[in-house]
Each structure stands twice: as structure tokens, then as C-alpha cells.
Amino acid sequence: MKARDSFAPAWLLVLALAAGHAHAGRSCEDRPMTADMLRNGLATAQRAQEALEAEHARNGTQVVVLARAGQDLSKYGLRYSHFGYAYRDESGGAATWRVVHKLNQCGTATSALYRQGLGEFFLDDLWRQEAAWVVLKPELQQRLLPLLRDNVAVAKLHQPAYSMVAYSWATKYQQSNQWVIETLALAQTPPAADRAQAQAWLQWQGYQPTTLHLGPLTRLGGRVTRANIAFDDHPNEKRFSDRIETVTVDSAFAWLAKSGLGSAPQAVRLDALP
């Protein structure tokens, strides 16, 4: 995958501008931007902006977790490929929504954090032009908002070593969706000191990862041909019985609603443009 999804006005890289494309939840193919891609991506971003502004007007919402469908993951029973934090920014006068999320550098096993506008977040050859979000409970929003605005604080639990199928309960690698839910532990009292504590908090809160059933040939092919796929952080008893447990948007959405940390998921979809 390129700097796409794990498994735009101007953009500001949170940590450093990494070379090459970044990806999470999208394929890594180099495809030139077309007029339709641009039109659809900006239209999806506009609908997301309108929906989030309506949510703010109704409930004062300032922070949501926002997802996109960059890849077709239906064979795994998944709808969304990638998500990040969207927060309402009034620093420039007119209110806008910005997204902080983690992207993998195409062709590498490393990643970085990015801060983007909604246009950039949805501007690509997405599998489905759809925006989905969960509104976090008010106390979480209040604690997350200053953290999301702070480049140093928001990166506290970021691990650059990347695997698209990183094991949910290990710290050797970290995939994009894993960073999102681990960062929630920074908004707790007391905040998590490291990733191990964050994962312990997630387990205590009842988070259950998605189990992907990947046979040995699939695992071998992925490890040999993709720098951003590794299985060596998974326990042998699970890996060799074809059970790969990893963080997905769908499992995180279900958990946030069930745990009371967030609302039921909402979505807007761009079915067709005139």
C-alpha cells in the first residue's frame, strides 16, 4: 500500500515529511489523479464537513473518530479500512475540521503522523466514497482536544515501525488503526505512560480485535512481497492456526458504542454526482 489506509487544502505533517507516498487503508499503486477522483473526494469531504458541523450545532461536538473506505475489505467482513481523529479547529477564524492520523510510507515498514484537512483525507482513489464517524463522549472530547492540537503530546504513543496486520497486544509494530485506539488511553486519568499500559487499558475496557483467517501461503506471500506486512509479533499458537488478530475500524466502532465511550456509528455516502 502506498501512503494509504491500513487494513486535501494544504497539509501539515505532524512529525516530519517522510519521503514517498503515505498510505493506510488504500492500495499502494501509483495512479495519477483524475478529474473524477478530485471531484468525488472533495464532494465527500464537503458532505462530511456539513454533517460534522450539524453535529456540532446539535451537541457541541468537537472530536470524532472519522473513517474512510480506501480498500475493498468485504472478503474479511469489513466495511472501513482506516480512521483517525477529526477535531473542530477555529484557530483560523472560520471553523474547519482537521484530521490527525497515521500513514505508512509506501514500500517501507515505517510510518508517520499527519495533520490534514478533510479534503486531503478523502482525496484519493477510494474504494467507496463514504465518510463514517463515531462521536466520542463529551469528557473524552474535552481531554483529547488539547492533545490533538499538540504535535508532541499526540505522538507520545506513536511507534514508527509499521505492520499492516500488527498484533493488537504487542508493541513491536503499530498499524494506523491501532494508534488511534491506543491514543484514547492518553485521555484517561491517569494517562497511559506507554503502549503496554494503553493496551492493558483497552483490554480492561473490553476491546476485542478482529480475527483474520489467513492461511500460510497468504502469510508467506505477504511477508515476502510487502515491507509493511509482518507476522512475527503474533503468538505462534495463533499465527500457526491461521488466526491473525489486529485492530480494524469496524471492531473499534463496535467497541466504542458498546463500551459507552462513543456513539453508534454514523455515515454519509456519495452515491453519485450529477
Give CA–CA dist 86/49, Å, rounded. Answer: 10
3-state secondary structure of 68: strand
User: What is the three-class DSSP state of 126?
Assistant: coil
Whether residue 227 is predicted with pLDDT greater than 80 in this model: the reply is: no
Which pLDDT tens digit goes with each residue over 84-106? 999 999 887 788 999 999 999 87
Q: pLDDT per residue over 111-160, tens digit each?
A: 999 999 999 999 877 889 999 999 999 999 999 999 999 999 999 999 99
pLDDT at 219: 39
Mean pLDDT of 36-49: 90
Q: What are the two backbone dihedrals, phi and then psi, of residue 58, each rounded to the nearest 5 degrees?
A: -75, -45
Residue 34 has pLDDT above 90, yes or no: no
Confidence (pTM): 0.86
The residue type found at 10 is: A
And the C-alpha cell for 5?
Answer: 489506509
The C-alpha atoms of residue 216 and residue 184 are separated, in whole angstroms, by 34
pLDDT at position 22: 53
Rounded to 5 degrees, φ, ψ at 191 are -70, 155
Of residues 242 and 156, the one with the higher pLDDT is 156
Q: Give the Å distances, CA to CA, from 94 to 53, 57, 86, 146.
A: 12, 15, 16, 19
What would the mean pLDDT of 50-54 be, rounded to a whole number? 97
Cis peptide before 190 (omega within 30 of 0): yes
Cell numbers found for residue 274: 450529477
Comparing CA positions, the residue from 172, 160, 131 lying closest to residue 266 is 131
Q: How many helices (H) and strands (E) does the chain have?
A: 9, 10
Quote the percentage of the chain above a pLDDT of 90. Answer: 63
For the segment(s) 12-269, the CATH number from 3.40.50.970, 3.40.47.10, 3.90.1720.10, 3.40.50.720 is: 3.90.1720.10
Q: Which residue has the cell 466495511?
A: 79
Indicate the pLDDT class of residue 221, thresholds 50, 70 and 90: very low
Three-state DSSP at 225 gives helix
User: Quick one: which H or E segment has residue 111?
Assistant: strand 111-117
